[in-house]
Amino acid sequence: MSSLTPYQLYDLLNRDGPLWLCGADLSGAYLSKANLSGSDLTGADLSGTNLSLANLSGSTLSKANLSDADLTEATLTGALLYNTELHGANLTGTDFTGAKLTGAILPRANLNAAILSKANLSGSDLSEANLEGAFLHNTDLKGANLSGTNLSGVNLSGATLTGVDMSGANMSHANLEGADLADAILIGANLLGANLRGAFLKEVDLHDVNLINADLNG
């Protein structure tokens, strides 16, 4: 689909019900506070788009391009983002509760204080992303790339982290209580003051890991 004119975009956003925008070119558009809940944006180009405070709950964004987009405090609860490109996106305070982000591409994305509880991020690329203060309670991160990621103070309690690459990640004061870290790679990670009570650490590579004041009881 070709790029939409401002009039076409205005017309679409003022229609009732979910929108069908598969493959649409919405790059650089201003969609702050837009209601796109339940819309189908599969393969759409939303690069550089302002979607701050937008409602995208239950929407389909699989294989869409959201690189460098602004999704500050947007709502994406239950959204589908399979293999979605989110490289360099601003996801500060974004609510991804229960969203499916399998295979999503998020290197260097800003997820400060984002809500990812019960989301599925298995196989996703979060290398060098900023997740400081994010909520990842009961999140599925199987096989994800979290190398060099900032997870300082993050709540990862009960999270599935099997086979995750967290080499060089900063997890100082993170809550990993009851998390499954089997076969995870933690080489050179910072776990200063982290809570690892009841965490499953079978076959974990802890070479050069900082565990000063970490709680490994249980």
pTM of the model: 0.89
- CA distances to 32, 133, 201, 218 from 78, rounded to whole Å, are 20, 21, 30, 34
Whole-angstrom distance, CA of residue 75 vs CA of residue 177: 27
**Is 91:111 a contact under the CB 8 Å cutoff?**
yes
Task: Tokens 């060099």: give the residue.
Answer: 148
pLDDT in tens, 131-186: 999 999 999 999 999 999 999 999 999 999 999 999 999 999 999 999 999 999 99
Percentage of the chain surpassing pLDDT 70? Answer: 95
For 83, the token pair is 């293999």
The pLDDT, as a whole number, for residue 16 is 73
Average pLDDT of the residues in 57-74: 98
3-state secondary structure (DSSP) of residue 136: coil
pLDDT in tens, 178-218: 999 999 999 999 999 999 999 999 989 889 999 999 998 86
Give the CA-trace dihedral at 135, 162, 124, 120, to 10 degrees.
Answer: -50
The pLDDT, as a whole number, for residue 19 is 86
Whole-angstrom distance, CA of residue 130 vs CA of residue 128: 7
The pLDDT, as a whole number, for residue 217 is 83
**Is 56:74 a contact under the CB 8 Å cutoff?**
yes
